[in-house]
Chain A
Amino acid sequence: MTTATIVHRSAKGTTRRLAEAIGAHLESRGVEVSVQSVGDCDPASLAGVDVVLLGCWTSGLFLVGQHPDGPWTAFVRDVPSLDGARVGLFTTYKLATGSMFGRMRAALAGKADRIDLELKSRDGRLSDAGRRALDRRVGVG
């Protein structure tokens, strides 16, 4: 069975809701899912997981300077090499994601050979387009 770990950093609960929605969707596709916050997840536990999805709320000045915040980047610093895993990113935002995904990718530089899934949501709900993107990237459905 495919395994997936979804790790979220949520300031007000919206990113957590998106993480849970992603988890519920993957579970419905037969994936064994674990959803954890950056405070609960041991970064070393990500080694060997088939699908790793890392999410953070969009910090910044609404329209410029978007970036993942300190607790997320501190967590990612301790993440082992994810080469071989299917890795994706997700975020929640108010007005624009701007440089958010670029900054998340930069934080993961050298740890994942390929990141080709980016999901975003304003309200923590997973869109139909997001579901389809997940199905394609995870290879289910």
Chain B
Amino acid sequence: MATTLKQIDDFLALKRIAAVGVSRDPKQISHTLWQELRQRRYDVVAVNPATTEIDGKPCYASVRDVDPPVDGVLIMTTAAVAEQVLEDCAAVGVHHVWLYGGLGGGATSPATIAAAERHGLDTVAGLCPYMFLPETPAFHSIHRFGKKLTRSYPKAG
């Protein structure tokens, strides 16, 4: 099922979010996106089992470990890892998930979309949050324009 703008708006209206797959490398998109959400005053926690801290902020091994629980989960892992993350989301009662869609598909694949549907999760799939945040650098506006040009931009719904 195609993602709608309403699903995107609903996700971006959440306050407490877990960002899964945040890299320690500040040049990686997962890191800059996590920082971007933090600067926009989201209560966003990092999840990466490879570390306990990123930039001085606590980092959790799994969505299951995050306390207090989150309202939504942004998944920026590979699709293979994302399947387990979706299971974790369902187990802790998270309803909103965003399967980040980068070059090569990111966390989005037919298998992860099917898994999200199986768990009954409200899912944004195959898109980058930067495209929907106001006032981002020009590159993201161009990305958004490209999506509109190719008619792959989400529709209202």
Contact = CB atoms under 8 A, between A and B. Distances in A.
Majority SS of interface residues in chain B?
Answer: loop
Nearest to A62: B138
Contacts of A13: 26-27, 32, 35
Given A12-B137, A70-B135, A39 B27 contact: no
Contact of A38 (B26, B39, B134): B39
Interface string B52-63: 000000000000
B38 A69 contact: no
Contacts, number: 37
Interface string B119-146: 0000000000000001111100000000
Majority SS of interface residues in chain A?
Answer: loop
Contact of A39 (B26, B40, B135, B138): B40
Nearest to B136: A11
Contacts of B40: 39, 71
9 contacts: A12-B32, A12-B137, A37-B35, A39-B35, A39-B39, A62-B138, A71-B40, A71-B41, A71-B135
Interface of A: 9-13, 37-40, 57, 59, 62, 69-71, 74
Interface of B: 26-27, 32, 35-36, 38-42, 134-138
